[in-house]
């Protein structure tokens, strides 16, 4: 029997600071929807570089990544996380 392709739907919450992105993500979590944030990507980069986790470093690294890799750099770094969630959902037969 052929493996069933799992399809996922990705919602992206974007907006200015205080626009409600965190609140929307909180509601999604309450509904059992997996949430991946771009902040996770930045914090991971800070840890890799051994830098303190603070707003100043996060902003600097985010700007550096965008300047070096393009304005979509952080979003692109979320893709492997999304794919990993999709793969683990396929193993557990759980819907994403």
Q: Which residue has the higher pLDDT, 11 or 51?
A: 51
Q: What is the pLDDT confidence band of residue 24, given thresholds at 50, 70 and 90?
A: very high
Closest alpha carbon to 89 in 8, 19, 31: 8
Identify the pLDDT of residue 74. Answer: 95
Q: Give me 29's structure tokens.
A: 């979590």
Q: What is the pLDDT of residues 26-78, one digit of tens each?
A: 999 999 999 999 999 999 999 999 999 999 999 999 999 999 999 999 999 99
Which pLDDT score, from 0 to 100, does residue 91 have?
64
Given this model, what pLDDT does residue 1 score? 57
The structure's pTM equals: 0.75
The one-character DSSP state at 4 is P
The CB density around residue 74, as the number of other CB atoms within 10 Å, is 20
For 23, the token pair is 């609140």
């Amino acid at each position: 029997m052929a493996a069933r392709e799992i399809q996922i739907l990705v919602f992206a919450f974007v907006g200015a600071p205080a626009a409600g992105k965190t609140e929307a993500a909180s509601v999604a979590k309450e509904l059992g929807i997996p949430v991946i944030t771009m902040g996770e990507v930045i914090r991971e980069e800070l840890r890799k570089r051994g830098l303190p986790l603070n707003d100043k470093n996060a902003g600097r690294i985010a700007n550096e990544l965008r300047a070096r890799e393009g304005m979509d750099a952080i979003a692109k770094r979320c893709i492997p996380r999304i794919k990993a969630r999709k793969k683990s959902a396929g193993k557990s037969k759980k819907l994403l």
